[in-house]
Amino acid sequence: MKPYRKKNPLSYTLGAYPTMELMLHAPHLLQVIYTHPKIDFPLLEKLQELAEPLGVPITRTNAIERLSGKGNVFVAASFVKEQRLLREDLAHLVLVNPSNYGNLGTILRSALGWDYRDIAIIEPAADPFHPSCVRASMGALFHLRLKLFEDFASYQSAYPQHRLWSLMTHRANRLEDVTDFGTRHSLILGNESSGLPEEFANFTTPVTIDTSDAIDSLNITLAAAIAMHHAYAKKRPIRR
């Protein structure tokens, strides 16, 4: 197991759950499964059961500890990094310059939960294929269509028919007042610390999450979750 490098074509899952998500939902990307000598036998049996029909080798190694930096990770896997075209007929989540692996991974998991399966990431950005991000997403990455763009103009040029909604603070339009985002829309969020540049208000519809005056902004993962849940609830009411 070689150390992860952004320029390399391969990355790693760390942990049993994201590894099984890879095996179940993106087996064409899977290369090798790694297990630690201390792995529980029932978990090893489950991995062997899933790996056998895929024809994927399972290798026993202590190197997982070096890659993860922790002593409690007993399963890993190498996979081919893959970008995919986004669906033109569906909603997109657009993340502009996200910088933290953990935040990005958490947002990807939330996106899967609220049916945003097409993700655009505007660079410079945290690497969505970094093992830390894959682990934070709990394998949600393997359910999603994800593509990197060098700037927002490149994204907008590729998907000109999408209605653009930007999440910005201190705006007159409140998120809870939006009743229909449209089937083809882009929900746009900015960097964790700086948010979106002011010029986004000139060519998108900016909306804000209403809060008390006790705070001036929300953590990006929380803001993304609230916005995606609101859009999801509008198109698909919560089941009772």
Helix 41-51 and helix 16-25, axial crossing angle in degrees, nearest 10 = 20
pLDDT score at 39: 94
Shared domain for 194 and 231, answered yes or no, is yes
Domain final residue pick, 33, 60, 80 = 80
Residue 1 lies in a domain: no
Shared domain for 183 and 102, answered yes or no, is yes
34 class by beta-carbon count within 10 Å (0-12 exposed, 13-18 middle, 19+ buried):
buried
Domain final residue pick, 57, 80, 103 = 80
Residue 184 half-sphere exposure, CB side, CA atoms within 13 Å?
10
Shared domain for 76 and 187, answered yes or no, is no
Residue 87 lies in a domain: no
DSSP annotation of 174 reads B
pLDDT score at 2: 87
Shared domain for 63 and 107, answered yes or no, is no
Residue range(s) defining the domain that contains residue 224:
92-235
Q: Tokens 């209403």 correspond to what residue? A: 210
Longest CA–CA span in the chain (Å) reads: 58
> Do 225 and 103 meet the contact criterion of CB atoms below 8 Å apart?
no
Domain final residue pick, 37, 56, 80 = 80
Look at the chain and report how many structural domains it folds into.
2
| Dihedral in degrees, nearest 10, Cα atoms 177, 180, 186, 189 | 20
Phi, psi values for residue 223, rounded to 5°: -60, -45
Shared domain for 59 and 121, answered yes or no, is no
pLDDT per residue, tens digit, the chain (240 aa), is 888 999 999 999 999 999 999 999 999 999 999 999 999 999 999 999 999 999 999 999 999 988 887 778 999 999 999 999 999 999 999 999 999 999 999 999 999 999 999 999 999 999 999 999 999 999 999 999 999 999 999 999 999 999 999 999 878 789 999 989 999 999 999 998 888 999 999 999 999 998 877 777 788 999 999 999 999 988 765 555
Shared domain for 56 and 142, answered yes or no, is no
Question: What is the CATH number for 161?
Answer: 3.40.1280.10
Shared domain for 123 and 28, answered yes or no, is no
- Looking at the whole model, is its pTM more than 0.85? yes
Residue 85 lies in a domain: no
Question: What is the CATH number for 60?
Answer: 3.30.1330.30
CA angle 127, 225, 240 (to 5 degrees): 135
Residue 4 lies in a domain: no
Q: Give the whole-angstrom CA distance, residue 161 versus residue 184.
A: 7
Reference 34, options 53, 17, 52, 13; nearest CA is 13
pLDDT score at 66: 85
